[in-house]
Amino acid sequence: MPFFPLLPTLRPCSSIILKKFGFLSMADQTHFNSPKTHLENDHKNAIIYPVPLSPPLPLISKDIELSRAMTAASKSSLFSLSRTHVLFEDDWLLAVCKPQGVYCEAVLSSVPSLLSASLHSDQLDAQEKQPEFHLANRLDRDTSGVMLITKSHKVAAKLVKAFTDHKVRKTYIASCTGATPNWQRIDIESGHGRSKFGAWRVYATSDVGKKLPGGSVVRDMATTFEVLSVNGQCCTKDSSQLEEVKCKVIVEEKSVIDSGEGKDEIVVRAYPRSGRTHQIRLHCQYLGISIRGDVKYEGVCEWKGKVYDHHELHAESLTFEHPVTGLSVVIHAPLPLWASEAL
C-alpha cells in the first residue's frame, strides 16, 4: 500500500502570508508594490483651504502683545467701575464706557459692587436676588468705548439676537497712519476667518462659506469708512455729498497698497455692518491705513517720537431698539483725548 503523507488543511490566509509565499493576485501585487499609492490618494483627497489675503502677524507683535497683555491683566485686577463710567442705566440695561487696557471680564465682574453701592439699605433688603449680568457686546482689550450689559437672561437673549441680526448700529473712531486715502467714504466687503496659524485674516469675498483649518468657515465681513480728518484738517461733508463720492471695494485679491507708504495721520469713523473679531482693524490694514499702535496689523508702534502701548480705536456709539420698551436708544461714549485732539 503506497504511503501518502498527510497534507495540512489549507485555510484562507491573509494577504501578508500570501505575500510571504508569493501567492499574491495581480491586484494585491499592484497594491503592495506601489508604496506611493496611499500618499497619492491622500494628496488627491486633501482639502485645499482658501488663501488669506492679508499678511501674517509681524514677528515683532508677539513680544509686544505679550507685554501689553500682562500690563492689562495687572490693570484689570485693580479695576473698579464708578459712576463716572456709566453712560445709561434702567431696570434692564447698563451701559458703561470701558477704559483702554482693561479686559471686558473685569468690567463685568465689578458691576455688582457698583450697583449695590448706589442702592439704599431698604432697597438692598427688598432685593430677593442679584440681577443676572451679561455682556451684550465685547471690545478688544485696548479698545475703549461703549459696553452694554444686561441685567437678566431674557433681555440678554433678545439683545444677542439683535446683534446677530445686525439690528444694532455701531460707530467707531480710529486714528490711523499711511497715505491720505483717495476716497472720502468707502464700503469694503471681504471674507473673514482664522488662518492655519490661528490668526484672524482677510479672505476673498468669493471664499465666504468655504472651510478653514480647525473646522471653521470663512464668513462675510463688511465695513463703511468715512474720513474725518487728515493731519488735523477736518474733512467731513454732509451725508448727501458723502453718498455721491462713496466708493466700494469687493475684496478678491491682495491689497496693492504699501502699508509703509505715506506719513499722514488719518482719523476715520467706521460703521461695521457685521460683527467679526478685529473687523475694523483688519479692514484698516487692508486699505493701507493701519490703526496707530496696532502692531498686530502693521500699525506703527512709534510715531513722531512717541511710543504707543495700545492701539487707538474707540467704540463711539450704539443705536438699537430697547428689548423691553421698544423705544430707540442711542448711547454715546465721550471721545478719548487722542480723538478730541485729532478732531
Helix, strand, coil fractions of the chain, as percent rounded to 5: 30, 25, 45
Which triple of cell numbers denotes residue 85? 463710567
Q: Nearest 10 degrees: CA dihedral of 278, 283, 319, 277?
A: -20
Which is it for strands 306-307 and 302-303: parallel, antiparallel or unpaired? antiparallel
**Rounded CA separation 87/98 (Å):** 10
Helix ranges restricted to H, 87-166: 104-109, 111-118, 121-126, 153-164
Which member of 91, 140, 187, 238 is catalytic?
Answer: 140
**Rounded CA separation 280/293 (Å):** 14
244-254 per-residue burial string, b: 16 or more CB within 10 A, e: under 16: eeeeebebeee
Q: Would you call 140 a catalytic residue per the annotation?
A: yes
**Residue closest to 323 by CA, chosen among 195, 148, 193:** 148
**Residue closest to 175 by CA, chosen among 45, 325, 316:** 316
CA distance to 74, 76, 114, 187, 268, per residue, from 98 (Å): 16, 11, 14, 28, 20
**Rounded CA separation 97/104 (Å):** 11
> Which residues does the annotation mark as catalytic?
140
